[in-house]
Amino acid sequence: MLGTLLTHQWKQTRRSPVFQRSIAVNIILGLLVVYFSLIFIAIGFFADKALLKLYPGQSPVDSLNGFLLFYFLVDLFMRFLLQELPVLSVQPYLHLPINKNKLIHFTLLRSIPSMFNLLMLLVFIPFMYKAVIPAQGMGVALVWLIALLLLTFFNNFLLIYFKRQLSSKPTLTLLFGLVVGGLMLLDYWEVLSLKQVSMAAFGQLLQQPWLVAVPAALLAFAYWLNFQFLKAHLYPEEIAVRKETAVEGKEIAFLSRFGNTGKLIALEMKLIWRHKRPKSILILSAFMLFYGMIFYTNDLYLEGYAMLIFVGIFMTGMPMFNYGQFMPGWQSSHFDALLTQRITPYQFLQAKYWMFVPAMLLAFFLTLPYAFFGYKVVLINLAACLFNIGINSFILFYFAVLNKERLDLSKGSAFNWQGVGASKFVMMLPLILLPLLIYAPFGYFGVPEWGIFAIGMAGVAGFVFHRQLLSLSERRFIEHKYKMAAGFRQS
């Protein structure tokens, strides 16, 4: 039966329109997987030498053991952001003489061949071969690797359980997040040394291999939790009740004051909140606010301006870039109905614009703590925010009419290439290069501050004439609306 279910899943994937239309994207994605796999294998091979240089008086195995607990905590965090829940369309099977437990087991087991679960093998197998086997022997080294693999699977099923609980019991998920965050804070405040705990725990595993039963027991417990949860929520009548409850909601009184524009913004916000893909995109955009730490902590970048302009455009405009590049694909499932409504393209685009403006202003205010690295960072981010509001938003509107592929809003954004095409890559070039081109002559003549001022003023000018720019965007939308509608029907 498991083989039959696997065959059905493979046929469903292979026959999907997205898979058929994205062969080139799949090839590129495959090349990227090979490239990054080779990088992780190289990290595993050379990790022992790097650890010897960092900790010369300590064996590489002990040094790595001290970081394993951090690795699994970071793994949990990354899974929460990127890992999708394993799903199986069980309704077609429920009326057949198939054991329900087999359906649940299949749904859970199909999450094991995941990138997050296999990635650790690329790093730890080479390290085991180079460092653990010479120090501990083949048998102990295999037990050590099996323990790490079991803990990886434990993370997998634990995160799946809490992500499923997020909709029904958000307080439980919040408590879980607070525990993980609390452990990191205790280590940061030096109240509890996670490195010492990790080194002692995994070092003890090397001395007493029978302790591999502990991660095995944790994995069995996490698997049992998921099994019980799915068993209690398997039947379609309960799924229907939960869906009906999820779509209930009150009008947003504040937005209703702004007429049709406010109503359209309220509908857009409901669409984001109720669907997985737009919501996950905005969550990822929030975490991209930490992107500045890569550059602001390097004095080489702080001395210049061009790279800081790129970072400012990227951070303050990320909510608009991530969400706006797919419009109007968010409405692809009901685009024909939208065209028949008494809503003009101008109102449709105006609602999008006034939804982007507060999002970018909020992103700018959240970057204000970067003032710790100097006033220059704040001024550049302010100019970048104004440029995103006045210029880049209309560049997005210009390229948005090239989107003609329907989006499945129920799927997450991580490694989801649906709706991704050449236009997305072309779109990003003017968004990033245009402010740098404005700055370039001022930087060449040694007056970079005036270049930053020019970028900000270009954004202010765009905002002053935003009505005229919206009218131009409306004309382009009208020229392409039937092409977009035909594309959404066919995809």
Each residue of 362-407: pLDDT tens digit? 888 888 888 777 778 888 889 999 999 989 899 888 888 877 777 7
pLDDT at 298: 73
- The helix (H) or strand (E) run that includes residue 429 is helix 422-444
For the chain, list residues with pLDDT below 50: 21, 236-250, 413-417, 419
pLDDT at 150: 94
**Mean pLDDT in the chain?**
78
pLDDT at 401: 80
